Chains A and B, each alone.
Chain A
């Protein structure tokens, strides 16, 4: 059964340091705390944190991963899910009102816009982290793996969104080019392992974009 999760904004902790990283501060220097904290407060009042998820069986045959509702060929996902019999399929969003806020603030000033946008990125990650925590008694969770990571094709995005009825359940839809609306949304596969995995780094680190500034 698809479970719908809603979180009050007060339950989501957005770390200003995370926001600073998205803003391109690679070190902790020069962060304007007030600007970021104000933006976090404002973003939270415009957010509607909603997610839907369901547990599916995982079958792996060579590089083909069969999740029941979809099959995908991916070495990176295989590496991520190896040893898992089950996985959570997750879609989460900060809601359409938060997107309106980002657009509004971008009109008012480019700085306000970009700070709000980065707060949004940190917010959706924080929300997903919180959901992850609630899954933890299911087993040892693997890092969240999203369509487009590594060699997993971005097309699976549509399969996940359709399978979860994410549009009806949480208002998440895809554009023709598979971008998510609201923009601050995440879809992910989270493997449930029986033992502590050896997987290192978060989902982002498995991405092929080696020149990405967010890499350590």
Chain B
């Protein structure tokens, strides 16, 4: 029997703790248990035998930390470990699981481990284990959803073995990096795991409380491997507070709640497993039923589609937005992030992400934006692109189960998109058009939807992972178009198919579009619309949504509606912000709004360059001088900088093209360095003084810096490094710059930098703070 049949035929037992057991057999603190596979194989085999005798069906190889980061003799260790486990299993009806634990490093963007590197390192171990004859891969003790994803992808890409995944939840029922069970289930089921669950950190009592979450969302068999309670020290020895009797009693409850693959983790012994097997083997075997939920997830939570209408924020999209296009061209990720944060505040459930612009590298930009968004916003994202390369790259690094926009009824589209959805998981928006265009009847659109769903099922993608967009078309060009769309929404809804619409298309070509959109949106919701891609800054749309939710009983006690209504600004004109101190005074005092208002007023009577040269720059100089003399402190300096920026923005459009374009400066935190707060301050001030700053971010390779300097023609580079360990990367960057761009000056700064250090590594200038960077730029550019 193979393991997949086994887990579907009855309760399956994993083994228990290894590290704790081996320690009691003499494993020293700080000694790696994996090395015993080679140095003391008889002990490892004995441990496996004890668990087999206790009744375990799955023996976990002693390879928890066996990865390239820890071991040079990886092949030797893993091969020996699998061989030890197989030797132990001889004569038993048991399976060998290749144990894969976390890598001990944090993935980007929070840490510095690139996603693909993680996949590569996991793959290396998994290939060796599979070749050595493991029956399945057990990815366990995962603290981070993205790392779990990397491990599953590695397993899927490097072998054909079944993949089981267990993660570590805390008392709050979350992973260390924030994901709850629903989010993990959505992601792991989407990736094609074969069984999922939890292990380590908690004892069986606390895990019992998490199982209902699994039972509610999971369709796969549930694995539960708890610790033997909490550890404490007794006469210098570590003991756990839940003995085999108590452990096995609670494990009975765990089986009754729906777990079918059970065992133990830290502190559990063969005795814990033996008693658990004895007490649970006669209990009813209940596999979770298939849930067929439509769920997307982020790195913290899942969003279920179908219960109540949800809003997908449409603002991260360059179409028709000059400023957004500019941000994309200039790689101004912060602007894009702010668009996301602002929509998040408005209460959207999902953010659409579209960064397609002919002149940029869309796949690269898509990956960068998704990664950046996922470091600050916990909403699920909708990957919106027509480029299959960008789509795959984004789906790969996306932390969770994404919404994908979109697939159509065209054969070419389905061929490109469905394999990706099958591999990476995801819910895909299916637009009802095909080679023959968009049908002009609801029936025609429903037929395309059915065709798409049927085709998806050939790839193994369920109807629940398809959301149909029956397309809203301008009612101004066809007066029946709204009726057709609404009829299609209703028909699809009645068939149990989820729907989505890009609502605002309906009003194209009409005046007062927001009013038309809001009414159409309400009508669509009434017909069963599940998702709407809308502009959440449109008050009319948000009113429509909040009112609908309140009126249909989906907003208990109208709580959200009341809060929303109270948040609406009174329609009376906002009191005009006026300043008595003049623009320069506002900047010096750091008064953002007033500075903007004062500049807007001045521009009516004064040329923009005169405002900049006679008011803004002198004011900044006054503050900068105060900072240098330690009369003004950093926060005040930054407040003035923001006020100046506000003033710039107010007059920017009046500046004739070509004027006031000061020199370009490239800035970056060097390779290996992930601290960028200092560099960001330097950026703010340089921009204030009118320089065009190309900010390459943090952890930037020397080659990339040099490439950017050459392509932009910048004559000054600012480099930042925080620790002594990253100064060599700074030195290397300077060296490369000298070779490839000899006429470019380099200024350096950062916590460990000193004048001596700077000259030792060949920098032209050392800046103690942001103002000194400005002064140096003014001196040489």
Contacts and interface: CB of A to CB of B under 8 A. Distances in A.
Partners in one complex: yes
Interface of A: 1, 3, 23-26, 30, 32, 35, 68-69, 95-97, 99-100, 103-104, 106-111, 113-115, 117, 148, 154, 162-163, 167-168, 171, 173-179, 181-183, 209, 211
B724 A154 contact: yes
B331 to A, nearest CB: 15
17 contacts: A30-B636, A32-B635, A35-B635, A68-B29, A96-B110, A100-B375, A103-B375, A104-B376, A107-B338, A110-B680, A168-B141, A173-B106, A175-B674, A176-B672, A177-B723, A183-B674, A211-B754
Interface string B35-65: 0000000000000000000000000000000
Contact of A181 (B106, B141, B233, B726): B106
B677 A106 contact: yes
Contact of A176 (B102, B112, B675, B684): B112
Interface stretch (B451-459, B638-646, B708-716): B638-646
B724 A115 contact: no
B238 interface: yes
Nearest to A35: B635
Interface in B735-781: 752, 754
Contacts of B673: 177, 179
Interface residues of B, number: 53
Contacts of B102: 167-168
B725 A103 contact: no
Interface in B93-116: 102, 104-106, 110-113
B725 A154 contact: yes
A171 B143 contact: yes
A99 B636 CA distance: 24
Contact of B674 (A100, A106, A167, A181): A181
A144 to B, nearest CB: 18
B337 interface: yes
B33 interface: no
Contact of B231 (A1, A95, A99, A108): A1
A211 B769 CA distance: 13
A56 B178 CA distance: 33
Interface in B212-251: 231-233, 237-238
B537 interface: no
Contacts, number: 129
A133 to B, nearest CB: 20
Contacts of A99: 110
Given A178-B723, A179-B674, A111 B642 contact: yes
Contacts of A97: 178
Considering residues B630, B634, B724, which has the most beta carbons from chain A within 10 angstroms of its beta carbon? Answer: B634
A167 B177 CA distance: 12
B634 A23 contact: yes
Interface in B607-652: 630, 633-636, 638-639, 641-642
Given A35-B635, A154-B725, A168-B143, A96 B677 contact: no
B722 interface: yes
Contacts of A181: 106, 110-112, 674
Given A96-B110, A154-B725, A168-B102, A110 B642 contact: yes
A26 B502 CA distance: 55
A131 B605 CA distance: 62
B544 to A, nearest CB: 28
Contacts of A110: 638, 641-642, 680-681, 684
Contacts of B233: 1, 3
Given A100-B376, A167-B102, A177-B726, A111 B639 contact: yes
A107 B672 contact: no
A24 B177 CA distance: 31
Contacts of B437: none
A183 B178 CA distance: 17
B334 interface: yes
B523 interface: no
B341 interface: yes
Nearest to B638: A111
B320 interface: no
Interface in B652-684: 672-675, 677, 680-681, 684
A55 to B, nearest CB: 10
Contacts of B30: 68-69, 162-163
Considering residues A99, A117, A167, which has the most beta carbons from chain B within 10 angstroms of its beta carbon? Answer: A167
A186 B599 CA distance: 46
A43 B757 CA distance: 35
Nearest to A163: B30
A115 to B, nearest CB: 7
A10 to B, nearest CB: 16
Contacts of B675: 179, 183
Nearest to B374: A100
Nearest to A20: B633
